[in-house]
Amino acid sequence: MNGVFDLAKKRSVDFMDFNLKALNQEWDSKRKTDEFKSDAKDDKATQDRKQALKAIHKEIFELIKKTEAAWDKVKNWDKPKDW
């Protein structure tokens, strides 16, 4: 059963590491940050929408960082004693 636990642990760590890295790359990309930059030709509604997008982007990026920090604390868990 040790092999089963080790394989499950490896797969879950690989899965989380891959997806957290992908989320970071997506939300920290130049394309994502340029999405909410205002131009002089934007009307008021567009500028307001871009400001809302900027706030949402900041919140999501903070959530990603919190998730990474929480994952770093628990990713090296031990096998339960009763398993």
Read off the pLDDT of residues 51-60 as tens digits, 9 standing for 90 and up: 898 899 899 9
Task: Kindly list the distances between the CA atom of residue 83 and the CA atoms of 4, 8, 41, in Å, as whole numbers in the listed order.
Answer: 11, 13, 63
| Structural contact between residues 70 and 11, judged by C-beta atoms closer than 8 angstroms | no
Q: What is the pTM of this model?
A: 0.76
- 6-39 pLDDT tens trace: 899 999 999 999 999 999 998 888 888 787 777 7
Q: What's residue 29's pLDDT?
A: 83
User: Does 37 or 68 have the greater pLDDT score?
Assistant: 68
Q: What's residue 13's pLDDT?
A: 94
| Structural contact between residues 24 and 71, judged by C-beta atoms closer than 8 angstroms | no
Best CA proximity match to 69, nearest among 32, 7, 6, 24: 24
Q: Distance (Å, rounded) from C-alpha 9 to C-alpha 40? A: 51
